[in-house]
């Protein structure tokens, strides 16, 4: 049996080790020499898209994960080594056949509306995620295999699965499957989207669209967060979560002391942070790397030679080196460098313009129009590339422009289409794209199944599908299915290695770099990030100014 049980002494030692270690990738050092004081309002400025719903069960994008970390908590978490640790749950144990998971819950937690956190609440949350009317995507995929939720008693729930899922505890650690008050859910989607009710250290008080969300301290917080380094709840009184799309405006507000934490800073501002007495937290996201995916289900990228020609001519390395000011490195893997099983192959993604031209000639794209764009049977070699300006940083958008110019030199017409997040989702749902950079954050190497199993070409209830490469390969499907079912680490690792090789060799993906997650802080200490999806938590934060 695979099992996980709460080990409080180990967690306590881990917290002590973090304190002794000082500054790390997940903890910023104190700003200046001021002594921190409890209380006050922390101001956070985000450049990510403003959610249309504060309930991460609905849809399931990263901006929802960012903000909901403050008021919703999952059943499990992960430590800095990637090991699953208890959170609202005490333990999780799988049956020998992997088809039943018994989850033991804490008995001392209550939602902030007074609703008990118990087995019935877990059942209500899983059913909410599975309900098509919720229109969940990321959370839905985490519980998709659960066929029945059996309430054994208040603190024990059995999850019965249609097929084994060795990663169940990992995906239940994601913010998109965090626990919400059943009474809050029953209010209906509109009201629940405005202010989800959780067990977290903060409570959503108000939301002024296109401006900010105000969250206040949960005075009755039960210490459950694995990152917590003290007794009791949060030390600050409140969080003001501002939506400031422009990076320069966010940076100016941080430098002036108007805000305490910003995300998505410009690479040049990250490089200059130390000289400005600003602290930097580098928390790359786990699972998938950031990559361009080529739609293999429709022309021109249904032809492998054309995909290879695009990759041979894209030449992203110079842009990554200059545009990102040394804050990231080129990736040659579809998995994040945070994943130990990541398989990298730099030769497969080498630049060779002559070879690109030869491949396009061989594929029949031999004519050119007056603009130098290759043609075949009267059709231009056009690549529609929708870009979410809410998800792609300015540096990344500039990189795409360089790739556009590089591939134009061999005859591609890459049409970059900057758009808002909603329109971007619509373009993908309608298959109105040939290339796309679609960040996808989850936990662990099972992201390969979400992104590249043929099942991923079928839309979730939200209408979103994750297999943007439209990759369909029977051997790959079997490898990913087998990896999901096995709990043997060596066997699982071998299966994921073979699966990555098929994905890489398909040339449907052009890896770029780890999904970026950078935060700059000023006038605050104790900001850490969760080791699940690398979102910041302010449960330990204190203001120094």
Structure tokens at 4: 């996980």
Average pLDDT over residues 138-152: 95
Residue 19 has pLDDT above 80, yes or no: no
Residue 25 has pLDDT above 80, yes or no: no
Tens of pLDDT, residues 227-251: 999 999 999 999 999 999 999 999 9
Are the CB atoms for 2 and 94 separated by under 8 Å? yes
Residue 502 has pLDDT above 70, yes or no: yes
Q: Helix (H, G, I), strand (E, B), or coil: what is residue 480?
A: helix
Other Cβ atoms less than 10 A from the Cβ of 412: the count is: 29
Tens of pLDDT, residues 286-332: 899 999 999 999 999 999 999 999 999 999 999 999 999 999 999 99
Average pLDDT over residues 109-132: 98
- 289-514 CATH fold: Dipeptide-binding Protein; domain 3 (3.10.105)
Residue 26 binned pLDDT confidence (cut-offs 50, 70, 90): very low
* Domain 36-283+518-543, second-level architecture: 3-Layer(aba) Sandwich (3.40)
Q: Which helix (H) or strand (E) holds 536?
A: strand 536-537
**What per-residue confidence (pLDDT) applies to 465?**
87
What span, in angstroms and rounded, lies between the C-alpha atoms of 67 and 44? 10
Average pLDDT over residues 371-393: 95
495 HSE (CA, 13 A, CB side): 22
The single residue listed with the structure tokens 């970026």 is 516
What span, in angstroms and rounded, lies between the C-alpha atoms of 269 and 276? 9
Same fold, 36-283+518-543 and 289-514: no
What's phi and psi for 80, nearest 5 deg?
Answer: -65, -20
Average pLDDT over residues 380-401: 94
Domain extents for the chain?
Answer: 36-283+518-543, 289-514
Structure tokens at 96: 């020998």
Q: Which of 64, 45, 48 is nearest to 242 (CA)?
A: 45
187 HSE (CA, 13 A, CB side): 16
Are the CB atoms for 391 and 285 separated by under 8 Å? no
As a three-state string, the secondary structure of 271-296 is HHCHHHCCEEEECCCCCEEEEEEECC
Residue 4 binned pLDDT confidence (cut-offs 50, 70, 90): low
- pTM of the full structure: 0.83
Are the CB atoms for 538 and 71 separated by under 8 Å? no
Residue 521 has pLDDT above 90, yes or no: yes
**What per-residue confidence (pLDDT) applies to 207?**
98
Average pLDDT over residues 142-161: 97
- Which range among 212-226, 427-441, 452-466, 479-493 shows the weakest confidence by mean pLDDT? 452-466
- DSSP assignment letter at 136: B
Residue 32 has pLDDT above 70, yes or no: no
Tens of pLDDT, residues 248-266: 999 999 999 999 999 999 9
As a three-state string, the secondary structure of 187-244 is CCHHHHHHCCCCCCCEEEEEEECCCEEEEEECCCCCCCCCCCCCCCCCCCCEEEEEEC
E strands, 460-516, where?
509-514
**Radius of gyration of the chain, Cα coordinates, nearest whole angstrom:** 23
């Amino acid at each position: 049996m695979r099992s996980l049980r709460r080990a409080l002494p180990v967690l306590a030692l881990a917290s002590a080790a973090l304190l002794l270690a000082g500054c790390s990738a997940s903890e910023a050092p104190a700003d200046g020499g001021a002594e921190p004081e409890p209380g006050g309002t922390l101001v956070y400025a985000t450049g990510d898209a403003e959610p249309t719903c504060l309930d991460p069960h609905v849809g399931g994008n990263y901006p929802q994960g960012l903000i909901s970390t403050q008021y919703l908590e999952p059943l499990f978490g992960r430590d800095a080594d990637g090991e699953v640790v208890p959170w609202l749950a005490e333990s999780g144990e799988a049956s020998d056949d992997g088809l039943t998971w018994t989850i033991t819950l804490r008995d001392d937690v209550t939602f902030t509306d007074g609703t008990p956190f118990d087995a019935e609440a877990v059942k209500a949350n899983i059913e909410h995620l599975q309900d098509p009317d919720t229109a969940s995507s990321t959370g839905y995929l985490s519980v998709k295999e659960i066929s029945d939720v059996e309430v054994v008693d208040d603190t024990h729930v059995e999850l019965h699965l249609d097929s084994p899922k060795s990663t169940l505890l990992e995906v239940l650690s994601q913010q998109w499957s965090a626990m919400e008050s059943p009474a809050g859910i029953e209010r209906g989607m509109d009201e629940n989207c405005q202010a989800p009710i959780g067990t977290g250290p903060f409570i959503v008080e108000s939301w002024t669209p296109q401006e900010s969300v105000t969250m206040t301290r949960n005075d009755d917080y039960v210490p459950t967060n694995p990152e917590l380094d003290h007794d009791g709840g949060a030390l600050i009184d409140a969080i003001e979560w501002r939506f400031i799309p422009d990076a320069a405006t966010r940076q100016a507000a941080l430098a002036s002391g108007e805000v305490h934490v910003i995300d998505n800073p410009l690479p040049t501002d990250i490089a200059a942070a130390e000289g400005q007495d600003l602290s930097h937290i580098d928390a790359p996201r786990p699972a998938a790397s950031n990559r361009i995916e080529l739609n293999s289900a429709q022309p021109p990228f249904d032809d492998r030679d054309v995909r290879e020609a695009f990759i041979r001519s894209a030449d992203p390395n110079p842009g990554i080196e200059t545009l990102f000011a040394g804050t990231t490195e080129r990736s040659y893997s579809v998995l994040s460098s945070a994943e130990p099983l990541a398989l990298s192959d730099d030769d497969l993604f080498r630049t060779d313009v002559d070879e690109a031209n030869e491949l396009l000639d061989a594929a029949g794209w031999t004519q050119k129009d007056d603009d130098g764009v290759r043609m075949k049977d009267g059709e231009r070699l056009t690549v529609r590339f929708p870009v979410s300006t809410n998800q792609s940083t300015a540096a990344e958008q500039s990189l795409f422009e360089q790739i556009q110019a590089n591939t134009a030199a061999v005859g591609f017409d890459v049409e970059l289409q900057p758009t808002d997040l909603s329109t971007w989702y619509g373009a993908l749902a309608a298959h109105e794209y040939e290339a796309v950079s679609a960040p996808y954050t989850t936990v662990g190497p099972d992201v390969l199944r979400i992104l590249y199993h043929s099942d991923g070409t079928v839309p979730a209830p939200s209408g979103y599908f994750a297999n943007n490469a439209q990759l369909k390969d029977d051997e790959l499907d079997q490898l990913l299915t087998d990896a999901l079912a096995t709990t043997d680490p060596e066997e699982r690792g071998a299966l994921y290695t073979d699966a990555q090789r098929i994905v890489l060799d398909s040339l449907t993906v052009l890896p770029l770099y780890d999904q970026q997650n950078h935060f700059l802080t000023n006038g605050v200490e104790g900001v850490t990030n969760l080791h699940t999806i690398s979102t910041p938590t302010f449960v330990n934060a204190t203001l120094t100014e």
